Homo-oligomer: A and B are copies of this chain.
Amino acid sequence: MSHTLGVRQAQKQKTRRALLDAALALLEEQSLSSLGLREVTRAVGVAPTAFYRHFRSTADLGVALVEEALGSLHPMIRTTVSGADDSDERIVRAVELIGRHVDAYPAHVRFIARERHGGVQPVREAIREQLARFASEVKDELAKDRQAAGWSEDDLLMLAHLYVDQMLITASLFLEALDAPERARVTHMATRQLRLISLGRRHWPAG
């Protein structure tokens, strides 16, 4: 199926990757709305005009980054929530998984947290859309649980959003936590917050 694409398109995707990576690196210390086209091309080492061969604007590049940063997250979400029991060890594992993801893709996490409410409308929209998809997936997984008997679709979705938002908050806290003790504090708090939510879930007046 995957035909070894020619030298031509291979090179194109190579510089495209370089542009995305350079942008992601530059965005650690600024927001997308201040990211210059020339700034990115300079970091890569190509002419400013080469940028247009790949993206219409920096906002367009931003949308591509959203797909990249959140698209790869779906499987993780699914495996985290699925299985459906909300035991303590499960919660501990979920927080660990978030921490691990932040370690693996810190720039992606920072980008999403920053641009979710950022100054570039199309990017905000793209993030909102992807997070809504996440919430919907989480909802579907929650529905499989026997604990969800009697829950309305609406209630499941509101719980799913609560989980997704909580996940993002925790990820952002991990990002700011530099030393080990601070990380431990974040882990501790996030774990108990999830535990409290699960407790509320168990006692939710359903049916």
Q: Taking beta carbons and an 8 Å cutoff, which residues of A are in contact with B?
A: 27, 29-34, 110, 113-114, 116-119, 121, 154-155, 157-159, 161-162, 165, 169, 172, 188-189, 192-193, 196-204
Question: Smallest Cβ distance from A158 to chain B, in angstroms?
Answer: 5
Report the separation of the CA atoms of residues A172 and B165 in the bound assembly, to the nearest whole angstrom: 12
Q: Contact check, A29 vs B203: say whether CB atoms are below 8 A apart.
A: no
Given the interface contacts A114-B118, A198-B200, A200-B198, does A192 sit within 8 Å of B155 by beta carbon? yes
6 A–B contacts from the bound complex (CB under 8 Å): A34-B119, A114-B119, A158-B192, A165-B169, A196-B201, A197-B200
Question: Smallest Cβ distance from A174 to chain B, in angstroms?
Answer: 13
Residues of chain B within 8 A of A31, CB atoms compared = 31-34, 118-119
Question: Smallest Cβ distance from A153 to chain B, in angstroms?
Answer: 12
Q: Contact check, A117 vs B161: say whether CB atoms are below 8 A apart.
A: no
Q: Taking CB as reference atom, which chain B residue is nearest A185?
A: B154
Residues of chain B within 8 A of A116, CB atoms compared = 117
- Secondary structure at chain A's binding surface: helix, strand, loop or mixed? helix
Question: Smallest Cβ distance from A61 to chain B, in angstroms?
Answer: 15
**A30 contacts which of B113, B119, B197 (Cβ < 8 Å)?**
B119
Residues of chain B within 8 A of A172, CB atoms compared = 117
Report the separation of the CA atoms of residues A89 and B202 in the bound assembly, to the nearest whole angstrom: 22
List the 7 shortest-distance A-B pairs measured between CB atoms, nearest first. A200-B200, A34-B34, A31-B119, A30-B119, A199-B200, A196-B200, A31-B31
Report the separation of the CA atoms of residues A113 and B172 in the bound assembly, to the nearest whole angstrom: 14
Instruction: For the A-B complex with A154-B188, A165-B169 known, give 7 more contacts whose Cβ atoms are closer than 8 Å.
Output: A33-B34, A34-B34, A117-B172, A158-B192, A199-B204, A202-B203, A203-B203
Most chain B CB within a 10 A radius of its CB, from A34, A117, A201: A117
Question: Smallest Cβ distance from A80 to chain B, in angstroms?
Answer: 19
Report the separation of the CA atoms of residues A200 and B163 in the bound assembly, to the nearest whole angstrom: 14
Most chain B CB within a 10 A radius of its CB, from A159, A188, A199: A199
